[in-house]
A = this chain, B = another copy of it.
Amino acid sequence: MKPAFTIGLDYGTNSVRAVVVDCADGSELGTQVFDYPSGEQGVLLDPRDPHLARQSPGDYLEGLSASVRSALAEAEAKPGFSRRRVIGIGVDTTGSTPIPVDARNRPLALDPKWKDDLAAQAWLWKDHTAADEAAAITAAARQHAPQYLAPIGGIYSSEWFWSKLWRCLKVAPDVFDAAASWVELADFVPAQLAGVESPREILRCICAAGHKAMYSEVWGGLPAEEFLSRLDARLARLRGRLYDKAYPPDRPAGLLGRAWAETLGLEEGIPIAMGGFDAHYGAVGAGVRTGTLVKIIGTSTCDCAIVSAADRIEDIPGICGIVNGSIMPGYYGIEAGQSAVGDILRWWVEGVCEGREASHDELSAAAARLKPGQSGLVALDWNNGNRTILVDPRLTGLILGQTLHTSRAEVYRALIEATAFGARAIIERLAEFGVPVERVVCCGGIAEKNDVFMQIYADVLGHPMRIAGSPQAPALGAAISAAVAAGEAAGGHDSFEAAQERMTSLKAKRFVPDAAAKKVYDELYGIYRELHDAFGAVSGARSDLGSLMKRLLAIRDRATAH
C-alpha cells in the first residue's frame, strides 16, 4: 500500500495550526502555528464594551496559506513524504463563530467599505454582546417552541448563531442588510478551499447547525419562519438565504479548487472533509467511542461522548447538546462542559495569590502532599456559572470549611476537587440517561502536566484517566476526517472507527482510582451534591438557598451601577 498523508487544520481562538499526518499511524510529519495578526492576540476588541470579541476573516485566509505551506515544508524534509500523496484536508474551528458574507461568498470584512466595521467581522464564539437577544430567544422558545430547547439543554446562549445575527440586526442593520448570508467558520474554511462561490452552495456541517442554530431534521431544518418572525421579521426573511440541510462528517464538503491547490502546492481535486468544531474533532482525535468520555480541559472544559444512533436516546436535562452525527456519523454526538476549570485554578493562583506561572507547580506539589479530606474544605466550581447540568450562568463560587490554619495549597486542592465533583455530576447525569462512561480520555495542557489534578479526577470519578496520545487532538481529528473523506486512498479508512483505530493512541501514563481515596471522595461528593442542589435550586432540594447567589448578584449589579 502506498503511503498517504492528510492535513488537519485547527482554527483556535488566537491562532491556526496545520499538521501533516501519516494516515498509516497518525504520526505528525510537519506542524506549524500561525498567530492571527489582528487585534489583541488575534481578537478584535471594543474598549467601550468588554463583552465584544470579533475576528478578522482575512486572518483566517492568511493563516491557512501560511500554516499549511510551512507544515508541508517541514514534512518534505522527512523520508517517504511526498506532496503528491497528500490526499485530503480536514478543518476544525471554534464556534459558534458566524461570518457575514456577500453573494459571492466573500466576507464583507474583505470589502474596503466594511473593513473597519466590527459588526462585519467574524463574531467569535466568546463574544457576549448578545445576552439580551439570547434571553429573548430562550423566552420565546419556552413559550412557543419548547422542542427547540430540549436538545440544547433548555437555554439558548449569547454565544450562539441566532443571538449574534439578531444582535447585528439591531446594532448594525446596514451590515445585516448587506450580508447575503452568514457562514459558520467551520463551514467557511472548507468552502473557501473548495472554491464554493455562492453561500447557498456551501455544504453546512450538522455540528454547528445542530448545536448552535437549533437545526434538526425532526422539525425540518432551521427554526420555522413563523418562530423567527416572533423575534424579528428580517430574521425570518434571512432564513431562506441560509441553508435547508446540514450534513454529518461522512461526506466531503467539496474538492480542493485550483486556486488554493496552487497556493498550497497540493493536487487539485483532493477531498475537503466536512468542517466541525474543535471539541468534536478533538474527541475524534482522542479516540472517542462508546463508553469513552473525552474531556478537553483548558480554561473551561468540553466533554464529548457518542452513542450509537441505533439507540435512540432521550433528551438529557441540563446537557447542552445532543445531535445526530455531530461528532461521528452513525452516532449521537453529546456535548457537555464546565464553564471554568483551568480558569478557576488560574484565578486562585494568579488572581488571588498573585503567583506566577511557577506558582502553579509549587501549589500542585503542595496539594499532592495532602490527603483526600484532610483540608476539611469543600468548594463549588461555579466561579463562571454552571454550564452543565444546571445550565445557569448566574451562579457563583463557594468555599466552605476554612479554619484559621487553612492554607492556599489546601484551597487550591479543594478547587481541583470541586471541578472533579462537577465532572462527576455530568458523568452521573449521562449514565442516568443511558450514556455509559467507563473510561475518560483527556486532552490539554493541564492533563499532560498536572499529575495531582489527574489523580484527583481518577479518585473522584472512579474511572481510569488516560491522556490522548497526540497533544494536537483537534488537528489530528480533522486529519482523520480527511482520511475518511479520501476513503480507499487513505489505506482503507472507510469509516471513522477504522481510521481512529490506526491513527489515534493514548499516552502510556494512566491514573487509576485508589480505593481508599475513592471512598473518602464518595463522601465528599455527597456533601458537594448537597451544596450543589441547595444553591443550584435543584427541584426537591429542601432549602431556601436556591435564590441566594442570584440575590447577591442583583445586589452587586445595583452597587456597580450607582
Contact = CB atoms under 8 A, between A and B. Distances in A.
Contacts of A384: 403-404
Contacts of A535: 400
A553 B524 CA distance: 11
A551 to B, nearest CB: 6
Interface string A338-357: 00100110010001111000
A395 to B, nearest CB: 10
A372 B384 CA distance: 22
A347 B411 CA distance: 13
Nearest to A400: B398
Given A397-B401, A397-B403, 20 more contacts: A340-B404, A347-B405, A347-B406, A371-B560, A373-B558, A374-B560, A376-B396, A376-B555, A376-B556, A383-B402, A383-B406, A398-B399, A398-B400, A399-B399, A527-B548, A527-B551, A530-B544, A531-B548, A534-B545, A543-B544
A545 B407 CA distance: 24
User: Among A340, A384, A552, which residue has the most Cβ atoms of chain B within 10 A?
Assistant: A552
A375 interface: yes
A378 interface: yes
A515 to B, nearest CB: 14
Contact of A543 (B351, B374, B543, B559): B543
Nearest to A347: B404
27 contacts: A340-B404, A352-B411, A353-B353, A371-B560, A371-B562, A373-B555, A373-B558, A374-B560, A383-B403, A384-B403, A396-B403, A397-B402, A398-B398, A398-B401, A399-B402, A400-B549, A401-B549, A401-B552, A401-B556, A520-B555, A523-B551, A523-B555, A524-B552, A527-B552, A534-B534, A534-B544, A542-B544
A408 interface: yes
A351 B524 CA distance: 25
A460 to B, nearest CB: 14
Contact residue range for chain A? 35 or more
A403 B339 CA distance: 11
A213 interface: no
A377 interface: yes
Contacts of A404: 340, 343-344, 347, 351, 383-384
Interface in A356-399: 371-378, 383-384, 396-399
A383 B400 CA distance: 10
Nearest to A346: B404
Nearest to A521: B555
A140 to B, nearest CB: 29
User: Among A347, A400, A411, A560, which residue has the most Cβ atoms of chain B within 10 A?
Assistant: A400
Given A542-B543, A543-B534, A556-B375, A402 B406 contact: no
Given A530-B548, A548-B527, A401 B396 contact: yes
Contacts of A375: 556
User: Among A343, A373, A535, which residue has the most Cβ atoms of chain B within 10 A?
Assistant: A373
Contacts of A383: 402-404, 406
Contacts of A371: 559-560, 562
Given A374-B560, A398-B398, A530-B548, A407 B520 contact: no
Contacts of A374: 556, 559-560
A363 B543 CA distance: 35
Nearest to A523: B555
A406 B398 contact: no
A438 B384 CA distance: 42
A548 B533 CA distance: 14
Contacts of A402: 347, 383, 396-399
Nearest to A553: B376
A96 to B, nearest CB: 22
A560 B401 CA distance: 15
Contacts of A558: 373, 520
A375 B558 CA distance: 11
Contacts of A400: 396-399, 535, 548-549, 552
A347 B530 CA distance: 28
A407 B351 contact: yes
Closest 4 CB pairs of A and B: A397-B402, A376-B556, A543-B543, A373-B559
Given A543-B534, A555-B524, A556-B373, A354 B408 contact: yes
A544 B543 CA distance: 7
A384 B402 CA distance: 9
Contacts of A534: 534, 543-545
Contacts of A562: 371
A552 to B, nearest CB: 5
User: Among A354, A396, A398, A402, which residue has the most Cβ atoms of chain B within 10 A?
Assistant: A402
A543 B546 CA distance: 11
A402 B549 CA distance: 10
Contacts of A351: 404-407
A372 B543 contact: no
